[in-house]
A and B are shown apart, each in its own frame.
Chain A
Amino acid sequence: MMSLPFVLFACAIGAAWMRQRGVSLGFWLVGLVTMLILFRVHVSEVLSIQL
């Protein structure tokens, strides 16, 4: 599951290479959202930065 953003970004680069700008931007956006969801999943605990 953690490799999913990389797969989607690789698809975005591949689509750009094939001159499919809209498709590339679509893959990039889905990749970004996936990355942020994974970020949220991995940082469930509250930060403890009281000095």
Chain B
Amino acid sequence: MSTELSRLLNALGLIAIGAILTMAFIDQVWFGELPCPLCILQRAGLIAAGCGIALNIVFGPKPSHYGVAIIGAIASAAISMRQILQHIVPGTGFYGPPVWGLHLYTWAFLFAVAIVLGCGLMLLGDRQFSQVQPISGRLKGLPFIALLLFLVLTLANVFSTLALCGTGLCPDEPVDYELFELND
């Protein structure tokens, strides 16, 4: 696998993470499903994983960047698993309505596993690491769009979380945006 192909696949991976974060936002804003604290941390975990992929796009593929992505994905998976276990016993309830048969925290776990799997597969391509990759000038094309989308979504999460939880910790089951409540 050439460095350029690797960079393109990483850009597609980052766009996939961006798509997941966008869907979470649609669920929050359009359908009014406010995220719980663990749901917010799962988003943060996916962004942590995306940081490794972003490093691959900017600096070229390196095993350490895939390591960053894998660690972030495992952190996200651990948080999702905690929430799955919290509701796994019948009668212990659930958080939010299911989407295509699974709750969002279950989807988050599957996405995190997919990221780990994807990084594992990408690490099999040794040739991407053997080519000396000079840091070229400005990013352009798909890698640029992927990185910009990822940065915008991360910043959107900063403001969304600030609006939802204020400057403290989030309530376990948020019913409204705390920042807007303060202004009422």
Contact surface of A with B, Cβ cutoff 8 Å: 1-3, 5-7, 9-10, 12-14, 16-17, 19, 21, 24-25, 28, 31-32, 35-36, 38-39, 41-43, 47-51
Return the contact of A21 from the options B55, B78, B172 (Cβ within 8 A).
Answer: B55
Of B2-10, B100-108, B111-119, B157-165, the one contacting chain A is B157-165
Tell me how far the C-beta of A13 lies from the nearest C-beta in chain B, rounded to whole angstroms: 5
- Check A17 against B168 for contact (C-beta < 8 Å): no
Determine if B165 and A2 form an interchain contact, defined as CB atoms under 8 angstroms apart. yes
Contact residues in B for A48 (Cβ distance below 8 Å): 89, 92
Bound Cα distance from A17 to B71, whole angstroms: 21
Say how far B165's CB is from chain A's closest CB, in angstroms. 4
B45 part of interface (Cβ distance < 8 Å):
yes
Determine the chain B residues whose CB is within 8 A of the CB of A31 once the complex forms.
44, 48, 51
Q: A16-B58, A19-B135 are in contact. Are A9 and B51 (CB under 8 A)?
A: yes
Inter-chain residue pair count (beta carbon < 8 A): 110
Look across to chain B and name the residue whose beta carbon is closest to the beta carbon of A2: B165
Which chain B residue shows the least CB distance to A31? B48
Contact between chains at A49 and B59 (CB < 8 Å): no
Interface pair B48/A35, CB less than 8 Å apart:
yes
Q: Quick one: which of B78, B79, B88, B170 contacts A2, CB cutoff 8 A? A: B170
CA distance A40 to B54 in the complex (A): 27
**Which 7 pairs across A and B sit closest by C-beta, in order of nearness?**
A3-B161, A5-B44, A6-B158, A2-B165, A6-B157, A10-B154, A3-B162
A36 CB to closest chain B CB (Å) equals 7
Q: How far is the CA of A19 from the CA of B59 in the complex (A)?
A: 8
Interface contact A32-B151, CB-CB below 8 Å: no
User: Are the C-beta atoms of B157 and A17 separated by less than 8 Å?
Assistant: no
Which of A2, A10, A19, A47 is within 8 Å of B169, CB to CB? A2
